Structure 1
Amino acid sequence: MIRKTLLALCVALTCLAGGSGCGVLRGDDPAARAAREPAAASSSKAPADELPYDVTPLLHPDKKYFGVAVDGAPSSMKPVDTFARTVGKKPNLVGSYSSWGDGFNAKGAENVFHDGGLMYVSWEPFKPGLDKIADGSQDTYIKKYAKSVRETNVPVAISFGHEMNGHWYPWGTKDTTAATFVKAWRHIHDVFQDVGATNVVWAWSPNVINPVPSVKLKPYWPGDAYVDWVGIVGYWTMTGAHTFETLYGPTRRQIAKFTDKPVLISETSAEPGERRRADVRALLGGVEQDDGVLGFLWFNIPKRADWRIQSSPLALAEFKRLIADDAFGFEVPRS
């Protein structure tokens, strides 16, 4: 019943408020299922005395990230290759979803890295609860996950507990507190540091504030020392905002009051309909023109709406035209 309730809330918010695509809708994603298996033996195990991959050059590169989440990736890169052929450019950021308790998808991280990109993990703590993470009782799991990240030794972006300012997830406003979220985030980060897993880009990713204007973001901020990117989740819907400023601006202005970390549109898509071509133009144009925005990650999975760009020929043509700009895409350095 809880899962069904979460699903209903999530769908309603997506359709009415320009909210997220919602992890609940993605629970059967093959990439997520693959990540639940123990991490496969990595071909790039890092010796104990080898320095971890230095993510510093990835934090604010000269060009924009062009990301995508597609069914089956990154455990396989074939879906990414198909998407690249569809839009005419290869993404350099590949989204994935991992529930708390899943093993680190080392194979997926290596696949993306060896293809010139960065794996972005939305780490979803559906259970046992943020309080159990914050108090150290989950440390055996966290250490195992962090050690796998360290041993794989390729760059990885991790977003823990995304959309924490919403009420549709168990780590959100309904079932826990901002203070507990911050404590859990800092504890996870500290464990990763302790095991030497510094090859992580930490992305703090609230939902756009439009559907939850009364929830202030600052109490959820772990602090500049614990975060590398601000990721903003915000979808273009038929009934929501239809300019880059009206969709993302209010959230960005609130965040700018407590941090100047660079911003990534960490999950987005445009709902099919008569405005979709214009929404694509507003998204890509806004990202390209805004020096404070690192790029975007497009959710290209059909869940309750057909978010795939190829489902709308006119919007696809606009996407292809704009993504061809030299501002988008670069190859992640191998060392």
Structure 2
Amino acid sequence: MIRKTLLPLCAALVFLGGVSGCGLLGGDDPAARAARHPAGSSSRKAEAAVPYDVAPLLDPKKEFFGVAVDGAPSSMKPVDAFARTVGKKPNLVGSYSSWGDGFNAEGARNVFDYGGLLYVSWEPFKPGLDKIADGSQDAYIRKFAKSVHETNVPVAISFGHEMNGNWYPWGTKGTTPETFVKAWRHIHDVFQDVGATNVIWVWSPNVINPVPSVELEPYWPGDAYVDWVGVVGYWSRTGAHTFATLYGPTRRQVARFTHKPVLISETSSEPGERRRADVRALLTGVEKDGDVIGFLWFNIPKRADWRIQSSPLALAEFKRLIAGDAFGFEVPRS
């Protein structure tokens, strides 16, 4: 895939112009539970002395094909089952981690050994962004960062996703853009201090369609603190139904202040008559748009059955399109 100059992209479903994300797994996610109670022998330290260099992954020549499934990444069996269902191995595996959880080092290694990259949506439900920004959470942040550093495999981290919505405590009703930016930069700086440079930092707003009055730029931490712009946007039965209308307004706004690579960082299509067309619009849109580096499909039943296998016609379309050479590559070993 040839890159052009980069041009920009659940508490409840929002059907007027966009859908908010469904990453409310928190403590219910098996990966999160494993991270809170890691086995003493399962968190393996890196075997290599040289830190993993994520630079080749930042703007890949092929598209990332990601999935979030129950049970992964503590076990890769659900990912294998999904791969058999759609006919191709994902190279990006999504997970959710609540603030206070330990880093799931075993899960990160599992994904890396599978040939992929672990994607962590880090959800600061408490104690609040102000406490993170003022340094009072530094012992926890440092411990998490050291575990990431010692695991020494590539990890993508999205802190406080969908911050432009009002459905999370770190969103528009719970804090200010200034506090969000201060917390983000502080976490990033602690990771740098401990040498955890094997992280790809992903800033992931929700599509602006359901929250058009919220400007994104005040939430932007700065080019030095972000590697990818992640865009969360779901396909609903009554909302935007083209790649351009779902993701375009957000990407145009983002283009005013940055030109970082864009990942569709959380998406799926609501079951219904339009689902097959939605799948076609998503996959062909990602493949044809030289500024987008891939997508992560939410394949977990939560408030709706987002699993692609729940709709035979949509699954057939997904299998047909994902089989193309544009999607999927093995994450390099070093």
Same fold (TM over 0.5): yes
Note the alpha carbon deviations across 1:114-138, whole angstroms, 9 max, x for none.
Answer: 0000000000000000000000000
Hey, what's the Cα distance between the residues in 2 that align with 1:176 and 1:283? 32
Deviation at 1:53, TM superposition (A): 0.5
Normalised by the length of structure 1, the TM-score is 0.94
Hey, what's the Cα distance between the residues in 2 that align with 1:26 and 1:316? 28
Deviation at 1:31, TM superposition (A): 2.0
Query: Which residue number in structure 2 is paired with residue 37 of structure 1?
Result: 37
Any conservation in 1 of the 2:132–2:183 contact (CA below 8 Å)? yes
Hey, what's the Cα distance between the residues in 1 that align with 2:134 and 2:91? 36
Deviation at 1:46, TM superposition (A): 3.5
Hey, what's the Cα distance between the residues in 2 that align with 1:247 and 1:21? 13
Any conservation in 2 of the 1:26–1:303 contact (CA below 8 Å)? no
Hey, what's the Cα distance between the residues in 2 that align with 1:25 and 1:154? 24
Unaligned runs of 5+ in 2: 1-9
Q: 1:176-325 counterparts in 2 under 5 A?
A: 176-325=175-324
* AA at the equivalent of 2:18: G
Q: Once superposed, what is the RMSD of the aligned Cα atoms?
A: 1.4
Note the alpha carbon deviations across 1:246-289, whole angstroms, 9 max, x for none.
Answer: 00000000000000000000000000000000000000000000
* AA at the equivalent of 1:58: L
Deviation at 1:150, TM superposition (A): 0.4
Hey, what's the Cα distance between the residues in 1 that align with 2:296 and 2:46? 29
Give 3-state SS (helix, strand or coil) of 1:305's partner.
coil
Does residue 78 in structure 1 map to residue 59 in structure 2?
Answer: no
- Decide whether aligned partners of structure 1 residues 25 and 156 sit closer, same or farther in structure 2, where only a CA change above 3 A counts: closer
Note the alpha carbon deviations across 1:161-217, whole angstroms, 9 max, x for none.
Answer: 000000100000001000000000000000000000000000000000000000000
Hey, what's the Cα distance between the residues in 1 that align with 2:304 and 2:44? 39
Mean alpha-carbon deviation: is it higher for 30-39 or for 215-224?
A: 30-39
Hey, what's the Cα distance between the residues in 2 that align with 1:12 and 1:94? 23
Note the alpha carbon deviations across 1:7-49, whole angstroms, 9 max, x for none.
Answer: xx72243x555323333256412222222224654575247x9
Hey, what's the Cα distance between the residues in 2 that align with 1:16 and 1:77? 36
Any conservation in 1 of the 2:26–2:98 contact (CA below 8 Å)? no
Hey, what's the Cα distance between the residues in 1 that align with 2:20 and 2:26? 12
- Higher RCO, Cα 8 Å, sep 6+: 2
- Decide whether aligned partners of structure 1 residues 173 and 101 sit closer, same or farther in structure 2, where only a CA change above 3 A counts: same
Hey, what's the Cα distance between the residues in 2 that align with 1:89 and 1:284? 14
Hey, what's the Cα distance between the residues in 1 that align with 2:25 and 2:12? 8
Any conservation in 2 of the 1:159–1:205 contact (CA below 8 Å)? yes
Any conservation in 2 of the 1:118–1:332 contact (CA below 8 Å)? yes
Query: Which residue number in structure 2 is paired with residue 23 of structure 1?
Result: 23
Any conservation in 2 of the 1:117–1:331 contact (CA below 8 Å)? yes
Normalised by the length of structure 2, the TM-score is 0.94
In the TM superposition, structure 1's runs of 4+ consecutive aligned residues that sit over 6 Å from their partners are: none
Query: Which residue number in structure 1 is paired with residue 11 of structure 2?
Result: 10
* AA at the equivalent of 1:138: Q
Hey, what's the Cα distance between the residues in 2 that align with 1:323 and 1:24? 27
Give 3-state SS (helix, strand or coil) of 2:24's partner.
helix
Any conservation in 1 of the 2:129–2:183 contact (CA below 8 Å)? yes
* AA at the equivalent of 2:32: A
Which has the larger helix fraction? 1
Hey, what's the Cα distance between the residues in 2 that align with 1:273 and 1:81? 26
Identity of aligned residues (%): 83
Deviation at 1:50, TM superposition (A): 2.4
Any conservation in 2 of the 1:39–1:106 contact (CA below 8 Å)? no
* AA at the equivalent of 1:33: R
Hey, what's the Cα distance between the residues in 2 that align with 1:180 and 1:123? 16
Unaligned runs of 5+ in 1: 1-8
Hey, what's the Cα distance between the residues in 2 that align with 1:123 and 1:111? 19
